[in-house]
Amino acid sequence: VTSQEYKTKPAQNAMADLRGFGIMPDVVAVRTEGSIAPPHGVADKIAIASGVRPEGIIMMPNVDTVYKVPLMVARELGPVLASFTGNDTAPDMTRWQQLVRHDSQTYRQRLTIGLVAKYIDNADTYLSITEALKAAAWAHRSEVTIQWINAETVTDAALSAVDAVVVPGGFGKRGVEGKIAAASYCLQHNVPYLGICLGMQVAVIAAARRGGLAQAGSAECGAAPDDAVIYLMPGQQGKQSTGGTMRLGNYPAVLQAGSRTAKTYGETEVVERHRHRYEVNQAHLAAINAGGIVVSGASPDGRLVEFVEAPTCDYFVATQAHPEFASRPFRAHPLFAGLVQAALKRQKRTKGEA
């Protein structure tokens, strides 16, 4: 809108360019600023200039939640799809309507989860994780606030002010010591913790240091071979530049029966997506176990550590995988749902003690 007038010339020019390439769309989605759709005359004007039927011009004004977009598209595009497919059955949008209610509802139960990360100036970097946390909170009829904690300047005070902690994945040395400190704090103070990819690796390092391996670290960050509890497996050295050491895609894992991880999933065989290079060095399991962490899931052949947990904590679970990729707004991932449940229990217990 310029001077309170909707300008359609940019859209008309774009459509002319498409026709020049031999592309004749059946539908054109027109984005507009503001929350009110333009008058029908605007769509008619674009239709005349573009050769697209008026009903194929979909006006998409701004909405206050992304979950309203499918509802808007279904409403605007429904007649066009029915004509195109010959199927006039209206789609069932009940779940999307429920999501909109979840996203706009004010819940009595509220919790704060600390996300210990290094790219805190760009929340979109961790969008899959924050959305997975939202879905998990909705599953427990609660509302979550993300407290961004800079991994390079993390303090005990910041960690003590949240109900649970998530340490996400990442590459490189920067911020790793802060993430190790966060995992150690949660391990020591029984703060609900979910480690993802690098978040599992720093948890293992924290445990190994607590278990007597004072210089425990990751080969990625320059740890000496004898101290590298996170390492490149034999045969992988020298292949980093080719990508041959990256573990990508779905991998199966077998969970220890009776473990917190298995109880959270409700099964002992799972498949999760991966994107990482370094693995847990099982030669240091004695120190890791002495520090309070045990392996709760591994690859079917036992060579790769996939999950760890702290048996003495109410909820301290970490995985080498990326479970946030399997979370859905309609279906919270078990690991995130378990974290939220533990955080709510801790919150109630803490308030009771106060």
pLDDT tens, 210-268?
Answer: 999 999 999 989 899 999 999 987 655 555 454 456 788 999 999 999 999 999 999 99
Domains delineated in the chain: 1-62 (3.10.340.11), 67-105 (no CATH), 111-353 (3.40.50.880)
Q: What angle do CA 144, 150, 154 make, to 5 degrees?
A: 100
pLDDT tens, position by position, 306-323? 999 999 999 999 999 999
- What is the average pLDDT value for the chain, to the nearest integer? 90
Give which of 75, 1, 77 is closest to 32, Cα–Cα. 1
For 241, other C-beta atoms within 10 Å of its C-beta total 7
Q: Are 251 and 272 in contact (CB under 8 A)?
A: yes
Q: What is the pLDDT of residue 245?
A: 62
Instruction: Give the mean pLDDT of 63-73.
Output: 89
- The residue from 220, 313, 324, 333 that is catalytic is 324
- Report the sign of the C-alpha dihedral through residues 277, 279, 281, 287, in that order: positive
Largest alpha-carbon pair distance within the chain? 76
- Place 1 in a pLDDT band, splitting at 50, 70 and 90: very low
Token representation of residue 146 = 């993300």
**Phi-psi group of 314: left, alpha or beta (phi > 0 → left; psi -120 to 50 → alpha; rest → beta):** alpha
Q: What is the pLDDT of residue 237?
A: 59
Is residue 294 helix, strand or coil? strand
Q: Nearest 10 degrees: CA dihedral of 310, 149, 174, 294?
A: 0
Q: Mean pLDDT: which of 103-112, 273-282, 311-320, 345-354 is highest? A: 311-320
How many helices (DSSP H) and strands (DSSP E) are in the chain? 11, 14
Of residues 158 and 28, the one with the higher pLDDT is 158
pLDDT tens, position by position, 271-301? 999 988 899 999 999 999 999 999 999 999 9
CA distance 107 to 117: 27
- The residue from 102, 274, 284, 322 that is catalytic is 322
pLDDT tens, position by position, 69-80? 999 888 888 888
- The residue from 76, 102, 197, 313 that is catalytic is 197
CA distance 201 to 20: 54
324 is catalytic: yes
Is residue 94 helix, strand or coil? helix
pTM here?
0.86
